Amino acid sequence: MKPNILAILTLLALHGCTTVEDPFLDGMTGNMPVATGNRELPVHLASASLTGLGEMPIGLRQTFTDGVTRQTMVWANTTTLQGENALTISTSAASRSTLRKGPDRAEIIRTLRGEFPGVSMSIDPVIRRNAYGAYGAATGKLGDKGGCVYAWQIIGRDVELGRNEPREIRLRYCHQALGPDVLADLLTGLSVRDPGFAASTATVAYGYPAFAAASKQVIHHATIDQDAVKSPKTGAVSVAATTDPDIKATTPVRIPEP
């Protein structure tokens, strides 16, 4: 009889363990992003390329998280600076708004600090363009001859051109023999390979539409506080140059709201 009672008590205890809700675990499960389809791909399956870069990529990763598909094309890093030389293309469903605005200045500065430690990076006031519109860039000198670039672009949705999903482009690249002036133009050679994806000027850099900036246009503005502050007269966002010694703004930049 005693063994039977012990067996029943053990089963009841196990049943209780499987039915009692744990608010901590429930919270973790509810807030964790859903990630599927993370894998390595052959480099020839990349959805974009840089035609001006005379070297082959060494790897291609694709991830899918919370409705955003990201492809990261990686090139060899021959410098002493840690980090990946990578072009990242993020694609979001048309119904999502996560990829419709370019990064603000605060986000760019945080990225520069994290990706290029010890390198004096400057946000370029020149608005550059490629086949898909305007893009922003920050560059810095690396050693005597080399340099680094961080470039960003938002390519907007355009049904007439067959672009049903917005895309975000990010480039991080350092080279021991290529200077900042050369690296700043790398994203000019961007080529998107997906079927039906056509080029146009419907894109975003610095958080405003491409048609608002002409090629090689320099934007000047009197700076105020470092944090983004809305001006009651213009409704624009103005930011001052950062005081970080490794990040410079060679020319004050005005970032109009989209």
Written as one string, the DSSP assignment of the chain is -HHHHHHHHHHHHHHHHHHS--HHHHHHHHHSPPEEEEEE--GGG-SEEETT--S--SEEEEEEETTEEEEEEEE---SSS-S-EEEEEEEE-TT--TTSS---HHHHHHHHHHHSTT--EEE--EEEEETTEEEEEEEEEETTTEEEEEEEEEE--BGGGTB-S-EEEEEEEEESSS-HHHHTTGGGGEEE-STT----S-EEETTEEGGGS-TTEE-------SS-EE-TTT--EE-PPP--TTEE-SS--EE---
How far, in Å, CA of 130 to CA of 123, rounded? 18
Q: How is the chain split into domains, by residue range? A: 34-215
**pLDDT of 4:** 62
Q: pLDDT tens per residue, the chain (258 residues)?
A: 555 665 665 555 555 544 433 333 333 334 444 445 678 899 999 989 998 888 899 999 999 888 888 999 999 999 999 999 999 999 876 555 555 677 889 999 999 999 999 999 999 998 899 999 999 999 999 999 999 999 999 988 765 555 667 889 999 999 999 999 999 999 999 998 765 444 543 333 433 333 233 333 333 333 323 333 333 333 333 333 444 545 554 444 443 333
Closest CA to 132 of 45, 50, 220: 50
Place of tokens 């791909």: 41
